[in-house]
């Protein structure tokens, strides 16, 4: 088993990321101009994880805002999660939505429908400190 861990600290325009082999969490804002540069290591990590024996994995996306460049990367990331499910991994994807944030809810629903996944939606309180 390769079991890699990862911890990335949140910045003004990039999310905090943690991965311990069983839980994968992305939290904060994702507004980088070149989001692929940030997300490529996360995509590679999931590709590596998919080569291991299937197991349970919790994925939580808790972003208060993301731009269109990040949207594509989130789609690619969750596409890899779908492949893992198809290989026998038991994955729960939790998509967090701040109070009354229809943009984030609709973003999750769009990705969910395009990939044929089933998300668990979790209501989280509005965090004014995360505003730009």
| Each residue's pLDDT tens digit, 31-65 | 999 999 999 999 999 999 999 999 999 999 999 99
Q: 114: domain range?
A: 6-130
**Residue 112: is it exposed, middle or buried by C-beta count within 10 angstroms (0-12/13-18/19+)?**
middle
pTM beyond cutoff 0.75: yes
Whether 19 maps to a domain, the answer reads: yes
- The values of phi and psi at residue 26, to 5°, are -120, 125
Whether 1 maps to a domain, the answer reads: no
Residue 1 pLDDT class (50, 70, 90 cuts): very low
* Torsion (CA) 103, 99, 82, 52 in degrees, nearest 10: 140
Average pLDDT over residues 109-118: 96
pLDDT exceeds cutoff 70 at 81? yes
Whether 67 maps to a domain, the answer reads: yes
CATH of the domain at 63: 3.30.750
Give the DSSP per-residue string, 39-56. Answer: HHHHHHHHHHHHTS---E
* Structural domain count, the chain: 1
- Element holding 35 (H helix, E strand): helix 35-50
């Amino acid at each position: 088993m390769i079991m890699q861990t990862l911890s990335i600290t949140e910045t003004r325009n990039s999310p905090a990321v943690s991965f311990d082999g069983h839980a994968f969490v992305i939290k904060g804002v994702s507004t980088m101009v070149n989001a692929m540069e940030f997300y490529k290591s996360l995509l590679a990590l999931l590709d590596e994880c998919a080569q291991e024996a299937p197991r349970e994995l919790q994925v939580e996306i808790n972003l208060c805002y993301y731009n269109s460049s990040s949207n594509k990367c989130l789609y690619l990331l969750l596409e890899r999660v779908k492949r893992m499910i198809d290989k026998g991994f038991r994955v729960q994807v939790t998509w967090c939505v701040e109070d009354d944030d229809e943009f984030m809810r609709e973003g999750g629903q769009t990705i969910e429908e395009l990939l044929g996944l089933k998300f668990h939606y979790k209501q989280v309180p509005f965090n004014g400190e995360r505003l730009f």
